[in-house]
Amino acid sequence: MKQGAQDSAGTRAPGAGRGAVPRVPRQPQVADLRREQAAGEPRRDQEAPGAADLPRAGVRGEHTHGEPPVPHPRPLVRRSSVRGQILQALRTALVAGELKPGEVYSAPALGERFGVSATPVREAMQQLTLEGAVEVVPNRGFRVIERGDRELAELAEVRALLEVPVMLRLARRVPVERWDELRPLAEATVRAASSGCRATYAEADRAFHRAVLSLSGNDQLVQIAEDLHRRAQWPLVGGSARPARADLVADAAEHTALLDALVARDVDVVRALVAEHFAGAD
């Protein structure tokens, strides 16, 4: 059997039959290009604006023959979006105590719980492994890390070393109106504390501290402090998943008092409040 016509890439030309001759588009000659340039027309060997977004004829011997441009593939956002949602759900479950310290959870079982495949759960769990929330158990799944009072105290100490000097510096430099802009976030922590939901309060708590530290303009500081804050919110071994509402309300009240001291530029009160806030962090 004789081979049909092929293009220069070695593939069969569209519509080429037995004995057909492939059509090759006429290539611009030097005289053509000079004539077009003199007339002020765009040269055919130069790409027009947006040409990078269209299939190029003649690349690797490919012939378009007037086919419509092939649209770009859609960005792969769906899978990453699912993974992000699962990661957030797992973080909430950790803070709420639904994923208990010392227990092993498999990706397929968690996937069934969230109504997704095991893949995004496994990817989210890998992120939690990097954050120190869980550890891999070969052929079984992921074990929630067991934490005690000592680790919580160490986290509080490190957070204080990072955040207290920054807040004292900000207390002297940030205009009063900028602190007033954070008032809704402080009030949000009070409402979240009143709900008695540890996970809801944890998110509002991080949002307030993140906003305060963001005024420093140091993104690395904000990121590191956020990671430490998140770790400090995980439940302890044998600890209650639902602390007393009064404890949450008292913690949230310190946010409001801290903001009042920052507005008043009372550095001594700021230092005392921040030290007390981290000492009682849970």
* Boundary of a domain, candidates 102, 129, 144: 144
Tally of domains in the chain:
2
CA dist., res. 88 & res. 120, Å (int): 12
pLDDT of res. 71? 44
CATH number at residue 111: 1.10.10.10
Query: Which spans in 97-218 are helix H?
Result: 107-114, 118-131, 149-173, 176-180, 183-195, 198-214
Q: Is residue 136 part of a domain?
A: yes
Query: Which spans in 26-148 are helix H?
Result: 30-38, 78-96, 107-114, 118-131
- Mean pLDDT across the chain: 78
* Boundary of a domain, candidates 144, 172, 200: 144
Contact of 72 with 53, CB cutoff 8 Å: yes
Tell me which amino acid residue 240 is. S
> Are 94 and 135 within one domain?
yes
Kindly report, residue by residue over 29-55, the tens digit of the pLDDT. Answer: 545 545 555 555 444 444 444 434 434
> Are 139 and 154 within one domain?
no
Contact of 46 with 87, CB cutoff 8 Å: no
CA dist., res. 281 & res. 208, Å (int): 14
CA dist., res. 147 & res. 134, Å (int): 11
- Helix, strand or coil for residue 157? helix
Kindly tell me if the per-residue pLDDT of 19 is higher than 70: no
Kindly report, residue by residue over 178-207, the tens digit of the pLDDT. Answer: 999 999 999 999 999 999 889 999 999 999
